Amino acid sequence: MHQKTKLKSGLRVITVPIKGTRVATILVLVRAGSKYERKEISGISHFLEHMFFKKTKKRPSPLKIAEDLDKVGGLYNAFTSEDYTGYYAKVDISKLSLAVDWVSDIYLNSLLPEKEVEKEKGVIKEEINMRYDNPMARCQILFESLLYGDQPAGWDIAGTKESVSNITRKNLLSYMKSRYIAENTVVVVAGNIDEKSVKKEVSKMFSGIKSGKPKKNVSVKEEQQKPGILTDYKKTDQTHLCLGVRGYNLFHSMRHTQKIIATILGGMMSSRLFIKIRDEMGLAYYISTDVESNPDTGFLVTRAGVDNKRVNEAVSAIVGEYSKIKKEPLSDEELKKAKEHLKGERSILLESSDALAHFFGTQELLREEISSLKETFKLIDKITVRDVQSVAEDIFRPEKINLSLVGPSKKGKGFEKLLLPC
């Protein structure tokens, strides 16, 4: 059972004891993501994440920062999303004090040297090139751009090569000062821990965190009247597509039902789309359906890579399954299978300390309310056949459907009529 403590500074600390493990994870999450950025310096959240691995007074080089945890076999990294950035270290329990010291040091004391800022621009531009050269990743970027357009929710988290070039050390310091504050931060420690001593240690190591009043991000505007299509011409051996609909955010009461629908459609090897598209039609090697629910946005999307000559078939088949699930009530047996799959999958995924830290930390950061796995399962168990059909009727509509494509398709000609039956 987790415990939450709010320190005088406003910093929230969550401890998650786990018996029978030799490891522990410390994860620090901050409300600093691409939705909080300005266009001219988009990508700054991600840029700052990179810079935290460069230099602190205590660890004066990238080598020193990396070596401390490499010497003990620790796993460590950072990540940036639309809504938050995270820094973590996972170590043998005997090295937890080192991990707390390491994470707090880079989080609070990074110096952002000018020379490293200029060098890192080249690194990030190559990361952008890598993502754009990967058709699967590029297709997902296009899909979210199609959904949200020219606003923070529609921008690539990494920014553009132009915006990254514009970012200065002064920008980074200003952004860090405004976002990296106690009220915006959650520290989670999960593993075979003594909670009392961990809280004391975290309180001490993060005592230097600054306080302030967090700024809210700009509200996302969602406007759509007809199917949306966005293509990126690329000479590829297969066409990669993201076909999905606007859905429910993190606070919506039917978000778990939306996840059940994704599971039924393409969340397992016996799902409708896997059987239809791969096993029966032989159209794709990979096909899956999933949902993303953020504080102010949400969507359901099917991803697939298909034969360039059979894209229309694939799109029609996926839309057909979308239409079917809203028109024909599923059986009690199929609903039960989806529920049990979802619960079993989550139980397995949350076996590790880093996964549990993320599970509890993101809920606290984004919702300011934590539901246990048991409480989540109760909500899933309450979902009815009618709930599924009602949600399907709401989200699978022509004015909510969107298709992004990466491959040798010419400007999406003929695709709109294929989306209308949804």
Q: Which helix (H) or strand (E) holds 14?
A: strand 12-17
User: What is the spatial order of strands in the sheet that 401-407 belongs to?
Assistant: 228-233, 401-407, 238-246, 298-307, 284-293
CB neighbours (10 Å) of residue 241?
30
User: In this structure, are residues 14 and 188 in contact, taking their beta carbons and an 8 Å threshold?
Assistant: yes
> Angle between the 62-70 and 96-109 helix axes, to the nearest 10 degrees?
160
User: In this structure, are residues 71 and 102 in contact, taking their beta carbons and an 8 Å threshold?
Assistant: no
E strands, 176-328, in order: 185-191, 228-233, 238-246, 284-293, 298-307
User: In this structure, are residues 236 and 407 in contact, taking their beta carbons and an 8 Å threshold?
Assistant: yes
Cα separation, 192 vs 330, in Å, equals 43
Q: Which are the catalytic amino acids? A: 49
